[in-house]
Amino acid sequence: MRFLKSLKYALRGIVYSINTERNMRFHTVAAFYTLLFSPFFHLGRLGYAVLFLTIGSVVSAEMVNTVVETQCDLVSTTFSSGIRGVKDLAAGGVLVRAFCAVGVALCLFAKPAYIAAGWRWLTDRPWLLALLAVSAVLSAVYVSIGPPGIRDRLHALFCRHR
């Protein structure tokens, strides 16, 4: 029973992070598209292991950064160079992880023949290309305003009081 409670709290933390942090939403979208297109590259088990570890490290670093920033904001509501330094260090850690993730992506996905084959596969199916374009727009909206913002805007749009 304790494990289930811990799992509930952890999932609640993930949802909180997605709802409140734009960078977290960006990372989830990047992970989604990376995993969506990964079958074109025939990664194998080791490639997927590296990919999952990379995604997990970036997402968890972003969550730790959120914790650090939130705690710093609770400690001091006024400017402090010490607090700024702590926040900068946490953000720098995420940036290092993100750069490493780009390096991993280059190692796994910089295969021109596979990229060309994937592009041909998509262009042979224009409806999929259109679906990809729509999903890119929806992803941009998701990243920029987040689930609560989307919910609030849809509610305002469709539930107007007359």
Average pLDDT, integer, range 136-146: 93
* Residues annotated as catalytic (active site), given as ranges: 62
CATH number of the domain at 25, please. 1.10.287.3610
Nearest residue to 132 via CA among 14, 8, 20, 29: 29
Is the pLDDT at 21 greater than 80? The verdict is yes
29's CB contacts (< 8 A; 6+ apart) are 139, 142, 143
Is the pLDDT at 162 greater than 60? The verdict is no
Q: What residues make up the domain containing 124?
A: 2-145
Average pLDDT, integer, range 75-93: 93
Report the mean per-residue pLDDT for the chain.
Answer: 92
Stretch among 26-40, 53-67, 82-96, 146-160 having the lowest mean pLDDT:
146-160
- Cβ atoms of residues 38 and 51 within 8 Å: yes
Average pLDDT, integer, range 123-147: 93
Q: Would you say residue 124 lies in a domain?
A: yes
Given this model, what pLDDT does residue 52 score?
Answer: 98
Is the pLDDT at 144 greater than 70? The verdict is yes
Residue positions forming the annotated binding site for ATP: 2, 9, 21, 69, 87-88
Nearest residue to 142 via CA among 13, 27, 9: 27
Is the pLDDT at 75 greater than 70? The verdict is yes
Residue positions forming the annotated binding site for a divalent metal cation: 21, 69
Q: Would you say residue 153 lies in a domain?
A: no
Res. 160 pLDDT band, cuts 50 70 90: low
Res. 154 pLDDT band, cuts 50 70 90: confident
Stretch among 40-54, 57-71, 83-97, 144-158 having the lowest mean pLDDT:
144-158
Q: Would you say residue 71 lies in a domain?
A: yes
Q: Would you say residue 34 lies in a domain?
A: yes
Q: Would you say residue 141 lies in a domain?
A: yes
Residue positions forming the annotated binding site for substrate: 2, 62
Is the pLDDT at 119 greater than 60? The verdict is yes
Cα separation of 120 and 118, whole Å?
Answer: 5
Res. 118 pLDDT band, cuts 50 70 90: confident
Number of domains in the chain: 1
pTM as predicted: 0.86
